[in-house]
Amino acid sequence: NLILVFLFGMIAATVLEYFTGTVMERLFHVRYWDYSKEFLNLNGHICLKCSIAWGFFSILLVRIIHLRVEKLVFLIPEQMEHIVTVVLTLIIVSDFTVSFYEAMDLRRLLDSLLAGNEELLKLHEQLEGIAALMNEDKELIKAAFDDRLDHLNKRTYKLVESILKRNPGAASRRHKQTLQQIREQIKERL
């Protein structure tokens, strides 16, 4: 029944999307998709438009894709079934593992950048105080500070940039400013 496939597919995928988005944001402090600007959204993790799309994708999956995949699966000789299953399982597990560690690296790098930026802001305030006391040229001290900041963050920014290129929709409330700065730097280079 296409209506039931649509409804159950829509509901199941929407619940999974909400759960996944919530867990990923809490675990990694990054939001990989955001529907906050969409009509009838729930915490930006799900929205009506995408839920309806999940229903149609469910019909597509059940009526077209599954039938073709099923034919291919039945072509696998019985002796090869276990080998193919193990190989595919290893591929999926390794992909999940790499993705998980990459997401954790992004979280760690963003936390590191945030801590580094806070420390550098304190240092900047101290340098401004010293410059005022010494009656030195603030622009010279600021230029030296900016050079030091660029040197300290260049490698970390490059790592975060490469992760963001693979996850362009990533967002984070905690690291919003840092992500925005990195995206601006990426745009400047293009």
* DSSP-assigned letters across all residues of 75-91: HS-HHHHHHHHHHHHHH
pLDDT at 39: 92
For residue 109, pLDDT over 90 is answered with: no
C-alpha distance from residue 119 to each of 113, 116, 157 (Å): 10, 5, 16
Q: Cα torsion at 19, 20, 22, 23 (round to 10°)?
A: 110
Distance of CA 130 to the CA centre of its chain: 40
> Given CA atoms 127, 130, 131, 136 in this order, what sign does their dihedral have?
negative
Question: What whole-number distance in Å separates Cα of residue 183 and Cα of residue 149?
Answer: 17
| pLDDT tens sequence across 135-178 | 556 666 667 667 766 666 666 777 777 777 777 777 777 777 77
Segment 57-85 mean pLDDT: 91
- What type of residue is 45? H
The predicted model scores a pTM of 0.57
Residue 132 CA to residue 135 CA, distance in Å, equals: 5
User: Which residues, at least 6 apart from 25, have a Cβ–Cβ distance to it below 8 Å?
Assistant: 31, 45, 172
Q: How far apart are CA 30 and CA 184, in angstroms?
A: 18
Least Cα distance to 50 among 169, 167, 164 occurs for 169
- pLDDT at position 21 over 70: yes
Q: Rounded to whole angstroms, how far apart are CA atoms 59 and 6?
A: 6
Of 8-12, 15-19, 94-98, 113-117, which range is least confident?
A: 113-117
Give the separation between CA 47 and CA 116, rounded to whole angstroms.
36
